[in-house]
Every structure is written in C-alpha cells, then in structure tokens.
Amino acid sequence: MNAPLTIRDLRVTFDGFTAVDGVDLDIRPGDLRFLIGPNGAGKTTLVDAVTGLAPATGSVRFGDHELLGRPVHRVARLGIGRTFQTATVFEQLTVLQNLDIAAGAGRPVRTLLRQRRNIPDEVAAALETTGLTAHRDRPAGELAHGQKQWLEIGMLLVQNVRLLLLDEPVAGMSHAEREATGALLRRIAADRTVVVIEHDMDFLRAVARSVTVLHAGRVLSEGTVAEVRADPRVQEVYLGEPVVTAPAGSEA
Ligand SMILES: Nc1ncnc2c1ncn2[C@@H]1O[C@H](COP(=O)(O)OP(=O)(O)OP(=O)(O)O)[C@@H](O)[C@H]1O
C-alpha cells in the first residue's frame, strides 16, 4: 500500500549545529518530488532522518506509521528505501544475483546465492523496468556507471519499496543515461512515490512533478517547477544576489 509522507517540524542537530531546522513537508502518493538547494542545505540529512540514519525530533509519518525513533531496518520494512550518491552494489556478483539477494532480504544467507531454476517474478519485472534484462548475467562491476545506478534502483523495486529516496541519481551520468533515468523514474512513479535529491536543473525541469527548495535547513520554496523557478527567493539563493523589484520612480 502506498501512503503519504508527512513531515512536521523536523529538526536534526549535530553538536549544536542545526542542519535541518523545522521542516514541514507533505508528499502525496505517486509524487515525483525533487528536493533541491545549495550545498549544505540539509537535503541528505533530511533523507537520513526519514530513513533512520540521523537522530531527529519532530514527526515523520508514512501513512499511519511514525518513522522517527525506528531503527533503519524497521523503516525499510515499511516499504521505504534509498540510494546513496555512490552506488552500493555487489561488484563481483551478477546483476541477477544482486537483485536476487535484495529480493531475498530476510531469507537465510546460505540460500541467497544458490542457483535458482526460475527467476522470481519480481526480479524479472525489475530487470525489465530498469532495462537490465540483457545484462542480467554480467558481474555488476562491469556495468556502466548509469547501469549501476539503475541496478541499485532495481534492488529497491524487488523489495517492493513504495517510497524511494534517491540521492543525486544522475550525478556523473552521460546525457543518454540521464534521459533513460528520467524515463525510468517516471515509470516507477506511476505506482510508487519518488523523492529525488538533485543538483542538475535540466534533469529537474524534464522530470520533476513538484519541487521543494531547502536553504539553511529550512523550506525556502515549494510548488511546480515553474512556480519555484519564478520565486525571487529561489533566484536569490541560486544566483547569490537579491532579485529586487525597483521601487516605483527609482532608476533601474
Ligand atoms: N554527521 C554530521 N556531523 C556534523 N555535521 C554534519 C553531519 N552531516 C551533515 N552535517 C552538516 O549539515 C549540513 C547539511 O548537510 P547535508 O549533507 O544534509 O547537505 P546537502 O543539502 O545534502 O548538501 P550537498 O548538496 O552538498 O550534498 C552541512 O553543513 C553539513 O556539514
């Protein structure tokens, strides 16, 4: 079951430094939300707090479940999964084995690498969705950079993750890989919720359904791509200078 993500007054403090400073966020099921903001805005820390990796105060609810205070594996069990800036796949194992292990999270370790006669349905579906079917028997270490990221997303899909939180998924990708990733995220968001931390504005314009801009740990702006781009506060943060409307009668 998919569910809304509801964040209220989220705060994360490191040794007296407040990295996330009272964030409210509502992400409806099926959204493809981009989380942007300058370096140090608190984007990764926010995702860390949602996934149980950073201690936080406030409230993060996924449907009826409060996430704050749950250990990482219990957040994951609710159908919430994330990727990191660097892909974390098992390089020596094949694409299929990586997916099989992810799908078998919870199975006894000794059975995970056993050759299986049939490919489980969810693994076949993830291969198809991520475009990796033809590469299923290749060691993950041989994959191109983009393909590794797609494999990592596939590893979330086989776990039936309903809310995917992706940290800079197109960093270092070629133009063609970015386009393929955009199409992949749209396919995934058809029946799941996707939150993407991203710096790439072209990618955002092409793919985002909604955008939240963080700055200094707070929500600076929120809306559609067009609304956020037109917001003078966002322009100020990104361009480094205030976009002021000259007072009537003054020289421009
Ligand atoms: N474990 C930590 N201990 C101390 N400070 C931290 C820790 N993690 C993050 N910070 C600080 O919190 C602030 C927010 O960091 P965060 O990584 O969330 O920003 P970000 O928006 O994801 O930036 P980037 O776009 O550069 O990844 C930064 O000032 C960072 O130095």
Q: Please report, in tens digits, the pLDDT of each residue of the chain (252 residues total).
A: 689 999 999 999 999 999 999 999 999 999 999 999 998 999 999 999 999 999 999 999 999 999 999 999 999 999 999 998 777 899 999 999 999 989 886 566 566 556 666 788 899 999 999 999 999 999 999 999 999 999 999 999 999 999 999 999 999 999 999 999 999 999 999 889 999 999 888 899 999 999 999 999 999 999 999 999 999 999 888 766 544 444 444 443
Distance CA 252, CA 247 (A): 9
- Ligand 1 atom showing the smallest separation from residue 199 Cα: 25
Q: What pLDDT does residue 117 have?
A: 64
- Ligand 1 atom showing the smallest separation from residue 38 Cα: 25
Q: Is 215 in the pocket of ligand 1 (CB under 6 A)?
A: no
Q: Is 55 in the pocket of ligand 1 (CB under 6 A)?
A: no
How many helices (H) and strands (E) are present in the chain, helices listed first?
10, 10
Domain ranges (residues) in the chain: 1-79+164-174+195-244, 87-161
Q: What pLDDT does residue 114 have?
A: 62
Going by C-alpha positions, the residue among 103, 126, 128 that lies closest to residue 113 is: 103
CATH classification of 1-79+164-174+195-244 is 3.40.50.300, yes or no?
A: yes
Q: What pLDDT does residue 249 have?
A: 47
Q: How far, in Å, from the CA of 40 to the mean position of ligand 1?
A: 5
Q: Is 42 in the pocket of ligand 1 (CB under 6 A)?
A: yes
Residue 131 and residue 180 in contact, taking contact as beta carbons nearer than 8 Å: yes
Element (H, E) at 50: helix 43-50
Helices (H), 65-219: 72-77, 95-103, 109-112, 121-130, 145-157, 175-188, 201-207
Which of 44, 196, 197, 204 for a ligand 1 pocket mutation test, highest count of atoms within 8 Å of Cβ?
A: 44
Residue 150 and residue 126 in contact, taking contact as beta carbons nearer than 8 Å: no
What pTM value is reported for the model? 0.89
